[in-house]
Structure 1
Amino acid sequence: MDRPAIDLPSRLLLNLKPWRNAATWRIAFSGGLDSTVLLHLLAHLAKTESLPALSAIHVHHGLQAVADAWPEHCRSVCAALGVPLQIVRVQVQPGASLERAARDARYHTFAEVTGPGDVLLTAQHRDDQAETLLFRLLRGAGVRGLSGMPRQRSLGKGHLLRPLLDVTRAELEAYASTHGLSWIEDPSNQDRQYSRNYLRHQVLPVLVQRWPQAVATMARSAAHLTEAQGLLEELAEMDLREASSGSEFDWLGLRSLELAPLAQLSDARQRNALSHWLEPLTRLPDTDHWSGWADLRDATGDACPVWRLADGELHRAGGRIWWLSGCWLQPLPAVGAWQDPAAPLAIADNGVLSLTGQIPDGPLHIRYREGGEVMALPGRGHRDLKRLLNESGVPSFVRGRLPLLYKGDQLLAVANLKGLDGSTSGDWHLHWQPLNEDQGLS
């Protein structure tokens, strides 16, 4: 049996207990029933409890004319409760799913405003969790998706928390009625063309009529799957530790894994480990797209396979897989003369160059490899640069980005490669600091 609405304040405080030392509690306030109840609860608890500073944020999507009145409603509610309100207007990018586009715009804003020590509170409840489970089940989600909405997760530089996931919609309605609250009724919530609304109005009522505890049992299933996902993540971390050995090219600042330990795992464990590794980097591929991993893994040794994902690419080189994104995938603008070799040279979209030791006579300039380059090496004569790069094991995706130091038409040095990066006597060396991964991310 559902607990009575009178329990809501104490239950909310219990759910928020681990976060009482946060710098700020910011409520995602749409003006609808759920967030109105959450805001009202917290504003009144703040009168008798020592809570972090409360504020609210309203994201205005501007997708329908009636929504233009909502910021003013939210402003008046927050003013009456003494809670500061921030209103942010966003532009929703068109796409296949308007629901998803609006959600992405909303959560992008939330991430931007959530700083260190901040907690963003959203008002999703137990009925929402059941809808999420059904929706993802019908889309063929795996364990991660079927575990539903997490109670907490990282967001921006802080955290997102859903403290009402054990509360039903009926309890929120009862609380709002008892306290005479008013809220916005979004007309789009009645539009059955949206999948979530169809489930809410057409499917769940039928299920609950036949199985009255359906919402509670689905929420319980989501909790079980959350536990299962936790075990899968522990297994992934174990498997990834085996593949996380260092590389002689760690100076590239790129994330990489040793391929052999991964390839020894079962296909399911490979997908599990890689999903865990890729999850912070890109939207994960769907089931059909995982064939790209098999192609990359099983390619012949002299191939340079690439697996293209939503937000970057996986490359294979030197017995490792490498994650590339952002500037690493963009064409490089031309470089030219190094006017002051005694000072570091910032290269457009490709990091910083510096010379140490006795600076060679100039004029000096920087080029990138185009093919056919030859380098004179004492005792070895003139050597084809391609062969020298092969001998050094330079990953194929790096070769076109390696800065080359020239004096006239003479190739003097290849940055960072031992034996090729300066004078044979060691009087000077050419150092390259590539863009780090944060700078390279799109």
Structure 2
Amino acid sequence: MSQSMIDLSARLLLNLKPWRTATTWRIAFSGGLDSTVLLHLLAHLAKTQSLPTLNAVHVHHGLQAAADAWPAHCQSVCDALGVPLEVVRVKVQSGASLERAARDARYGAFIKCTHANEVLLTAQHRDDQAETLLFRLLRGAGVRGLSGMPSERALGQGHLLRPLLDVTRADLEVYAAAHQLRWIEDPSNEDRQFSRNYLRHQVFPVLTERWPQAQATMARSAAHLREAQGLLDELAQIDLDEAGHRNDFDWLGLPSLELASLEKLSAARQRNALSHWLATRTRLPDSDHWSGWQDLRDATGDARPIWRLADGELHRANGRIWWLSGAWLRTPPVVGRWADPTLPLALLDNGLLSLTGPIPDGSLHIRYREGGEIMNLPERGHRDLKRLLNESGVPSFARGRLPLLYRGEQLLAVAGLRGLNGSARDGWNLHWQPPSEDQGLS
């Protein structure tokens, strides 16, 4: 084996050193040059090194007739190397960008097959990183986008690794030729209607003719921007820690931030903190579409502004902003009679209800607010429920979800609110576990 071959193997092992304790290394194997070299390298390293279990996964998109033969090719390569192969067939959604739809389908499959303490290895290299940087620059990306592809990130229950980002395509071609490897040439890689192919075949040859080190220097710029993004993330965390103080309604289980803390920051720093906070919860608007945040932040008086985002909503109440998604955006249906109050009651789109202590006599019903409700309180007499909720400071978006316990037409308790959620004299309490926030994006 030549010195360059040894260097490539050593570099790969060095990049994967922190992940040697994983249970499985799963290689994303398209059958193309890059992933074929990665698979071959790892299979041969496994003969002399103590590595995690190797597996390969081939995603079949079914977008062209030629692709039907690729699973068989991948299987023969894996059989020769002694690496088990899983073929996953996906359906690519139609849309404006076939590139993006195929990528979404592919990574959806990767997420499903990557389990806890496993890593998925993909074979993107330094040339791919330079293409990514230029592609995103032309789309007006910010610092995070221009930092390029990270060498590792969370994926499903495990992690995605790109151990060849410091290797050139030319290095991979030399290795493949030396080992007489066979790989698939995807016909779509020549179709220059796809943006990345246009950059690869039309733009980069011109750039590298004038600046031979263009791809290396662009990859270095991406590394600088990743470092800058890391600093922005640290700043965001400092600001979020300041705005994330506990509040009286933490029991709702909803993420929230103190508005006054955010308002002390510059506009750019507000956007940085919010982008960091929302990134795992929703797809974010581009930099030209943050007017919803300004409207939410600057609303006055009794206004109840809402900023609607792709996967949920930001509400403003009690001097805080609150993230609502999933069941919190759906109106819970009427409940009716509680047949057996000794058992917890699952409320559709509204969590779980239970009674502790002696069960009140009579036929019990669960309702939600409609307006005009009156509650009889010991030592206070009849009180309007709306006023009681105002006194308790219940956020406006939660008021219509509070389960109300009735006996006939008598309002006995309001779940979740101390002093209104049971009877101290009779020793029973109404407990409500609100619906959990949807996990959002990973």
Q: TM-score, normalised by structure 2?
A: 0.97
> How far did 1:179 drift?
0.8
Alignment partners' CA distance in 2, 1:404 and 1:361: 16
The residue number in structure 2 matching 1:108 is 108
Matched, 1:53 2:91: no
Provide, for residues 370-404 of structure 1, a one-character-per-residue CA deviation record: whole Å limited to 9, x for no partner: 22222222333332222211111111111111111
> What is the 5 A alignment of 1:195-214?
195-214=195-214
The residue number in structure 1 matching 2:434 is 434
Specify the code of the residue in structure 2 equivalent to 1:108.
Answer: G
Matched, 1:298 2:273: no
Alignment partners' CA distance in 1, 2:91 and 2:334: 35
> How far did 1:257 drift?
1.0
> How far did 1:440 drift?
8.5
Does the CA-based 8 Å contact 2:335-2:367 persist in structure 1? yes
Does the CA-based 8 Å contact 1:402-1:415 persist in structure 2? yes
Q: Which moved more, 1:73-82 or 1:90-99?
A: 90-99
The residue number in structure 1 matching 2:337 is 337
Matched, 1:387 2:415: no
Q: What SS does the corresponding residue of 2:87 show, helix, strand or coil?
A: strand
Provide, for residues 15-53 of structure 1, a one-character-per-residue CA deviation record: whole Å limited to 9, x for no partner: 111111111100001111110110010001111111110
Alignment partners' CA distance in 1, 2:258 and 2:101: 36
* Pair 1:160–1:33, CA change in 2 (3 A): same
> How far did 1:240 drift?
0.7
Matched, 1:417 2:417: yes
Specify the code of the residue in structure 2 equivalent to 1:148.
Answer: G
Provide, for residues 278-326 of structure 1, a one-character-per-residue CA deviation record: whole Å limited to 9, x for no partner: 1111112111221111111111131111111111111111111111111
Q: What SS does the corresponding residue of 1:297 show, helix, strand or coil?
A: helix
Q: How many residue pairs get matched?
A: 440
Q: What SS does the corresponding residue of 1:341 show, helix, strand or coil?
A: coil
Query: Which ranges of structure 2 fall in alignment gaps of 5 or more residues?
Result: none
Specify the code of the residue in structure 1 equivalent to 2:146.
Answer: L
Alignment partners' CA distance in 2, 1:178 and 1:240: 53
Q: What SS does the corresponding residue of 1:225 show, helix, strand or coil?
A: helix
The residue number in structure 2 matching 1:97 is 97
Q: Which moved more, 1:62-71 or 1:158-167?
A: 62-71
> How far did 1:425 drift?
2.4
The residue number in structure 2 matching 1:178 is 178
> How far did 1:437 drift?
2.2
> What is the 5 A alignment of 1:28-427?
28-425=28-425, 427=427
Does the CA-based 8 Å contact 1:368-1:401 persist in structure 2? yes
Does the CA-based 8 Å contact 2:342-2:355 persist in structure 1? yes
Q: What SS does the corresponding residue of 1:131 show, helix, strand or coil?
A: helix
Specify the code of the residue in structure 2 equivalent to 1:356.
Answer: T
Q: What SS does the corresponding residue of 1:272 show, helix, strand or coil?
A: helix
Q: TM-score, normalised by structure 1?
A: 0.97
Alignment partners' CA distance in 2, 1:98 and 1:409: 58
Provide, for residues 41-82 of structure 1, a one-character-per-residue CA deviation record: whole Å limited to 9, x for no partner: 000111111111000011111111211111111111111110
Alignment partners' CA distance in 2, 1:6 and 1:428: 73
Alignment partners' CA distance in 2, 1:315 and 1:79: 55
* Pair 1:440–1:187, CA change in 2 (3 A): closer
Q: What SS does the corresponding residue of 2:337 show, helix, strand or coil?
A: coil
Query: Which ranges of structure 1 fall in alignment gaps of 5 or more residues?
Result: none
Identity, in percent, stands at 78
Specify the code of the residue in structure 1 equivalent to 2:321.
Answer: I
> How far did 1:5 drift?
4.8
Provide, for residues 139-197 of structure 1, a one-character-per-residue CA deviation record: whole Å limited to 9, x for no partner: 11111110000001111111110000000111111111111111111111111111111
Does the CA-based 8 Å contact 1:313-1:323 persist in structure 2? yes
Does the CA-based 8 Å contact 1:345-1:352 persist in structure 2? yes
Specify the code of the residue in structure 1 equivalent to 2:65.
Answer: A
Q: What SS does the corresponding residue of 2:133 show, helix, strand or coil?
A: helix
Q: What SS does the corresponding residue of 2:165 show, helix, strand or coil?
A: coil
